[in-house]
Amino acid sequence: MTSNDLLVKLQRDVLSIIDAAKDFERLTDSDLNWKEHQAKWSILECLEHLNRYSLYYNVEFKRAIDRGVAANNNQQKAKSTWMWRKFIAMMHPDNTTKHKTFARMNPTEGSLKKEVIGRFLRNQRELLNILDLASKVDLNKASISVEFLKILKINLGDALQFVIVHEQRHLKQAVAVRSNVETLLTPALRI
């Protein structure tokens, strides 16, 4: 896949994420904070988890683009390392293997407010802008530090893919929670 094709695909993915997240805005705070049990996340916890990652990665993406090597051909192949292909596959929404999150990224501190959705949508719009800016640099040469292990570097193309599949994974989780909320809670139980 060329760098340009990758960026177009990722932009479509983010637009789909935005559309799905907007659907949560119609739910009540109670619905948004509902969990099947304590060990599972609510819709807002899924989105807050992603907001915490966006705080780090959106800044790092911009830095990588600012210091990146100008792309002289967007038709060049976007290269992935074997390790990051594995990480991307591990985070893919179709992979149902559960993974522990780092404590600082775990949003289970109590009831969250609907403003989490607004922040999430702003972060996604910012990511769309980042994807547009990324077309000006060589995705294979620009790199960032990984949030959970700063000494580990990842090229910009792999980093963008990793973050977006991570978002798709947790959005799929949030949609499943919404489905449970709509199925399990009858209108008579809603306040």
- Per-domain boundaries in the chain: 3-185
CATH 3.30.360.10 given to domain 3-185 = no
Task: State the CB neighbour count (10 A cutoff) for residue 48.
Answer: 23
How open is the CA angle 122-125-129, to the nearest 5 degrees?
135
Q: pLDDT tens for residues 131-190?
A: 999 998 999 888 888 877 777 788 999 999 999 999 999 999 999 888 877 666 555 555
Task: State the CB neighbour count (10 A cutoff) for residue 42.
Answer: 24
65-69, 115-119, 182-186, range with the lowest pLDDT: 182-186
Work out the pLDDT band at 93, boundaries 50, 70, 90.
Answer: low
Work out the pLDDT band at 77, boundaries 50, 70, 90.
Answer: low
Whole-angstrom CA distances from 24 to 106, 142, 152 are: 20, 35, 35
Q: How far apart are CA 123 and CA 127, in angstroms?
A: 6
Per DSSP, the three-state class of 7 is helix
Q: pLDDT tens for residues 123-147?
A: 999 999 999 999 989 998 888 888 7
Task: State the CB neighbour count (10 A cutoff) for residue 29.
Answer: 12
Taking alpha carbons only, the member of 57, 86, 65 closest to residue 148 is 57
Q: How far apart are CA 61 and CA 71, in angstroms?
A: 16
Q: Record the pTM.
A: 0.81
Q: How far apart are CA 123 and CA 175, in angstroms?
A: 19
